[in-house]
Structure 1
Amino acid sequence: MRLKVAAFLALAAGFWLPQVQAGVNVGSTRVVYQSKEKEASLALSNSGEDGVPYLVQSWVSPFDNRDDSSDEFIITPPLFRLDAKSQNNLRIIATNTQNLPTDKESLFLVNVKAIPAMSAEQRNQNVLQIALKTTIKMFYRPANLKGTLPQAVEQLQWRAEGGKLTVHNPSGFNVVVSELLINNSASKGMPEVIKPLSTVTTPIALKNSDTLVLSYINEYGSTVKAAPVTAH
């Protein structure tokens, strides 16, 4: 699970106040949008620990272009107030998905930005206002996609080419990498996601007969350790 939190700072004056603790919690670490469904949902809650409401803004962006807003989906409500100790559901609706592939998943990001309200006391002070942004992956899964994610992991083809690790994903599923062990040692240099129908060459040193163990993130956000495989 990789939840990215970015701080957007609005400084009213040059005085520092203690960091505000976010009270908005996202109910899942990923969304799987089945194309046959009219929408997908994501629960949000305000724990109320800081006792203030939040202004919540949400949108979908392409995985490879995170600064843009996606044309394929809208989120409703896109902007709303979430009071302390209250909940709300985001509805993610496909609006322009006819050009997305039908033989593999498409990967997007759901962004949730929460801006805390100022208390009456803060309004009379010089304050630093902090908005917290949470980003989770969204997988748009075509209705005719065959197989399962565990089967896709089993089908990964690990090869040593030129002394470097190459992995081919012949399936239509995105495989999110948690950790890769080579001969029981953790390796750095794997991509965050092994995309469907793709081949990735990494900077990781590898030779034939090395043993690899991949840990990946499943649809529920849990880490799963795959069976050991041998490089060819």
Structure 2
Amino acid sequence: MKKIVYLFALLLATGSSWANIVINGTRVIYPEKSKEVIVQLVNNGDDPSLVQSWIDDGDINSTPETARVPFLLSPPVVKVSGHNGQQLRIKKLPALLPGDRESVFYLNVLDIPPVPENLKNQNTVQLAIKSRIKLFYRPLSLRGSLDDALTKMEIQAESREIRLVNNSPFHITVANIAISGKELLLNDAVMVNPFSQASASAKRPIAKGQTIQVKYVDDLGAYKSKSFVVR
């Protein structure tokens, strides 16, 4: 009897050369007025892949069986032929979410490659790649845009500790902070929740009154930059 053991690798960004299945985009925006949103998958490989997809509310160890979210995703499991695409449809279910700020969820896409013909009926180990991107639910009541939200953000610093204060109803993802073109953040990108703050560590001390450039991620997944004076 053959035995297949799947090893799961988690990708927080799409487009890895390991994965045949690629998500078109690095984030999903779900406006409240939309009946559904569509996410496009593409199989860049020659072989078919079995794809399993689900949405979670922040648990990186979630599974389709344990995730509990107010969204319906279809199809949850689908076979995608080589060099072909597949649409995932996401529909909001009747559930109460905050109306004064965004809510964040995560779309998981698991790419399970087929067993090679020459390894069938043998004990094999296969690598299944899981891509995970953010899904933002955006209430109709929110005014302005993510770019406008940046004008309401404050940057505070004390030596090497940076405090990012988000005074807007949008999630702000800070990819890095730079002074004179030299990037400062020691850690990865920082997402600051609406009406909240987050901390980050810098490679060297930052003084109040200095002008810094904040690189952030917009709705399309592109990097933009805005200047701030440190408070």
Give the TM-score normalised by structure 2.
0.83
Kindly state the Cα deviation for residue 117 of structure 1 after the two structures are TM-superposed.
1.2
Partner of 1:118: helix, strand, or coil? coil
Task: Compare 25-34 and 202-211 and name the one that shifted more.
Answer: 202-211
2:191 to 190, 193, 196: 193
Q: Tell me, in whole angstroms, the C-alpha distance in 1 between the residues paired with 2:79 and 2:31.
A: 28
Alpha-carbon deviations, 1:153-194, whole Å to 9, x = none? Answer: 121112235874222111111111111114543222566201
Amino acid at match of 2:228: V
Among residues 160, 163, 167, which one is paired with 1:166 in the alignment? 163
CA RMSD between the two structures: 2.3
1:8 & 1:124 partners in 2: Cα distance? 15
Question: Is the CA contact 2:209–2:229 (under 8 Å) kept in the aligned structure 1?
Answer: yes
Is the Cα–Cα contact under 8 Å of residues 164 and 207 in structure 1 kept in the other structure? no
Check whether the contact 2:208–2:230 (CA below 8 A) recurs between aligned residues. yes
Are 2:60 and 1:62 aligned?
Answer: no
Contact 1:52 1:119 in 2 (8 A): no
In structure 2, what is the equivalent of residue 231 of structure 1?
A: 230
Alignment map for 1:22-101 (pairs within 5 Å): 22-47=19-44, 49=45, 51-63=46-58, 65-68=59-62, 69-98=67-96, 100-101=97-98
Worse-superposed segment, 70-79 or 176-185: 176-185
CA distance in 2, matches of 1:32, 1:8: 31
1:41 corresponds to which letter in structure 2?
Answer: I
Aligned equivalents of 2:145 and 2:24: distance in 1? 24
Contact kept in structure 1, 2:190 and 2:198, CA below 8 Å: no
Structure 1 residues 89 and 70: alpha-carbon distance in aligned structure 2, compared to 1, 3 A threshold: same
- Offset, 1:212: 1.4
Output one character per residue of 1:41-66: Cα deviation in whole Å (capped at 9) or x when no partner. Answer: 1011212x3x3211110001113x22
The one of 111, 114, 131 aligned to 1:114: 111
Change (3 A) 1:112 1:212: same
- Amino acid of the residue matched to residue 103 of structure 1? D
Corresponding letter in the other structure for 1:66: I
Native 8 Å contact 1:179 1:214 kept in 2: yes
Deviation at 1:21, TM superposition (A): 4.4
Q: 38-47 or 125-134: which moved more?
A: 125-134
**C-alpha contact 1:174 1:193 (8 A) present in aligned 2:** yes
How many aligned positions are there?
212
Equivalent-residue separation in structure 2 for 1:175 and 1:87 (angstroms) = 30
- Distance apart, 1:141 and its partner CA: 0.4
Task: Provide the residue aligned with 2:12 in structure 1.
Answer: none
Structure 1 gap segments, 5+ residues each? 1-6, 11-19
TM-score, with length taken from structure 1 = 0.82
170-179 vs 68-77, greater mean Cα deviation: 68-77
SS of aligned partner of 2:149: helix
